[in-house]
Chain A
Amino acid sequence: MNLRLLIAEGRKLKVISIFLPVISGMLLLAITVAQWYYHFHRDSDDVYILFNVLYMLLPFSIFLTGTILTSITVGTEHESQGWKQILTLPFPRVQIYFAKFIWLLILMLIQGMVICLGIILIWTLLTSLPLPLSFLIKQIFYSILAYMPVLIIQFFLSIRLENQAIPIACGILGAIASRFLPLFSMKWLYLLPWSYTGLVSPYLPDHLFWLQVSIGMTILLLLITAWWFQRFDWK
């Protein structure tokens, strides 16, 4: 990977691209804690229900954040007519593609960090029970990794379609789909990248299998889209 390109991409980011994962992470924390209190008081005395609530809400948050981040980052490039400028720089096109993708990944991981640190903080402040730390980390970061295939699809759509309304609509539909796909009994539906985030929770016995599937799919989609980007005509 080319470090210069990576730094340049970072400096182009709008302030909102950095704040968005932080804010959406905090929003998720707020809703999770509210739900947790609600359940805790009503029908359970199990504090650990916090992790069930997180499991319910996390994919949706990841999907929406990823969609908006991608559209903002790629949209900036369309808006500024920047593609023809970066693509006439003496760098392999593939490196330019990966530099942008890596930034999306970094921003998604920032969201994960915010959620992870937030839960740790809330847990230690409000309870005196042991925190299942490795479970928490797996829950959050497996989900983000499992989201990567969808992120690549969003990335592709955002580059291909200048008008970001369509990729954003697809992203929202995808977010809704992700909520329901893992609930169906038709197992072949699980193969769709939109299912993975719901399938990699450490709650589920074969979550590691689905984690491997998502990583495989990530690599496959990255190769396909990078090949496409390499040959794309900039009209």
Chain B
Amino acid sequence: MSFIVQTKNLTRRFGDKTSVNRVDLEVPLGSIYGFLGPNGAGKTTTLKMLLGLLRPTAGEIKIFGKMMPEERRAILRHTGSLVESPSYYGHLSGYKNLKIFSDLLGLSSKSVLEILDLVRLSKHADRPVKEYSLGMKQRLGIAMALIHKPKLLILDEPTNGLDPAGIQEIRNLIKELPTLYDSTVLISSHLLSEVEQIATHVGIIHHGQLIFQDQMDILQQHRSPVMYVELEHPEEAYQTLLGKGWRVDIENRSLSIPVTSSKERARLFQDLQPFSILSVQEKKKSLEEIFIKWTGMGNSL
């Protein structure tokens, strides 16, 4: 397994507050890695260290097998980033903003037009950026990160401030990147639902510590399914199931029963046989619930 980004013991302290604590990040080649954590967990601090904007207090960073910050330029040449809010010169047009960066990177003028097209800003290319809407600015920021077709794309909460349509659009764009440019994407978010929809791999950071890191599928397996059963005589069924030792809840004439295996599910149906079943639904625990269980946090992530 080759990792595009690999950190060992990565630590950053601000004064006596440890914002990032011994983090061993492992971002596989070609993955879309969702870097999850609530506000103040240390996501931005970690990403800034990867980009050489902040120096680690301890630990090491390897990107493309090269050391940061020793081989900073070699790493940055193939890295695109959008950290927190987009950077733009408001008095210049979107086109000019991108042109300055493409010239700095030695790219052709064609690459500017291409990227404007990709983020669907071609129509507004000649307007000064200070007149752009928040979503347009965000897309310009993503365009700047993508203009040199980077092998690694680092996005820090890229959908901040976007409307649902904008979020969907960015999400689709990010999903295409591994095939479009052969990129690996490292994307931070505080929304599990968002990461769930695009990520192939997940890392969860909480109070500066990485508390989970694996494939998305593995995280999904932690979600034990719950059966929702509607019956003609729910009260009777409820009592019977309780008597047989099931963990069962009753709500609006329907029962909910967690099951951990297919064997258990078969046993459940057997026990429900005597009652006429109207409908059966299987639902998985939401990622939020798992996350709350792990971190002991309330709803407000």
Chain B interface residue bracket vs A: 20 to 34
In the A-B complex, the 3 residue pairs with the closest CB atoms: A85-B87, A90-B77, A234-B53
Residues of B within 8 A of A (CB): 48, 51-55, 72-74, 76-77, 79, 81, 83-92, 96, 100-101, 103-106, 144
Q: How many whole Å from A21's CB to the nearest CB in chain B?
A: 18
B52 touches A88 (CB 8 A): yes
Q: How many whole Å from A96's CB to the nearest CB in chain B?
A: 10
Contact string against B for A residues 1-25, beta-carbon threshold 8 Å, 1 for contact and 0 otherwise: 0001101100110100000000000
Residue of B nearest to A16 (CB): B91
B54 touches A233 (CB 8 A): yes
A4 touches B106 (CB 8 A): yes
Residue of B nearest to A235 (CB): B54
A82 touches B87 (CB 8 A): yes
Residue of A nearest to B50 (CB): A88
| Residue numbers in A under 8 Å from B87 (CB-CB) | 80-85
Q: 5 additional contacts, CB 8 Å, given A7-B103, A8-B100?
A: A8-B103, A81-B85, A88-B79, A90-B72, A90-B73
Q: Most B CB atoms within 10 A — which of A11, A80, A83? A: A80
Q: Does A76 contact B (CB under 8 A)?
A: yes
| Residue numbers in A under 8 Å from B85 (CB-CB) | 81
| Residue numbers in A under 8 Å from B100 (CB-CB) | 8, 11-12
Can you give 15 contacting A-B residue pairs, CB < 8 Å? A4-B104, A8-B103, A11-B96, A12-B89, A79-B90, A81-B84, A84-B53, A88-B51, A88-B52, A88-B79, A89-B104, A89-B105, A90-B72, A233-B53, A234-B48
Q: Most B CB atoms within 10 A — which of A5, A87, A89, A231? A: A89
| Residue numbers in A under 8 Å from B55 (CB-CB) | 231, 233
Q: How many whole Å from B131's CB to the nearest CB in chain A?
A: 14
Contact string against B for A residues 203-235, beta-carbon threshold 8 Å, 1 for contact and 0 otherwise: 000000000000000000000000000010111
Q: How many whole Å from A98's CB to the nearest CB in chain B?
A: 15
CA distance A80 to B129 in the complex (A): 10
| Residue numbers in B under 8 Å from A91 (CB-CB) | 73, 104
| Residue numbers in B under 8 Å from A4 (CB-CB) | 103-104, 106
